[in-house]
Amino acid sequence: MLSPYTCVSCDQPLIQHDEHTFIHYCTNPNCEEAKLHLSLLEEMGL
């Protein structure tokens, strides 16, 4: 099941965060929002 934080509009392949295996995001500049969500989750300790 995809996480709500999955970035799906990327040109580059999705990469997986080592500490949050349920969150996929990519390095495409269009995906800053997805990375922002990831940062917010990390701050909350999830």
Q: Encode pLDDT of 5-44 as tens digits.
A: 555 544 444 455 455 544 445 555 556 676 777 778 788 8
How far is the C-alpha of 43 from the C-alpha of 22, rounded, in Å?
A: 16
State the pLDDT at residue 43.
83
**Predicted pLDDT at 11:** 46
3-state secondary structure of 26: coil
* Cα pseudo-dihedral 40, 41, 43, 46, rounded to 10: 170
pTM: 0.32
How many structural domains are present in the chain?
A: 1
Domain assignment of residue 42, given as a range? 1-46
Q: According to the model, what pLDDT value does residue 44 have?
A: 83
**3-state SS, residue 15:** strand
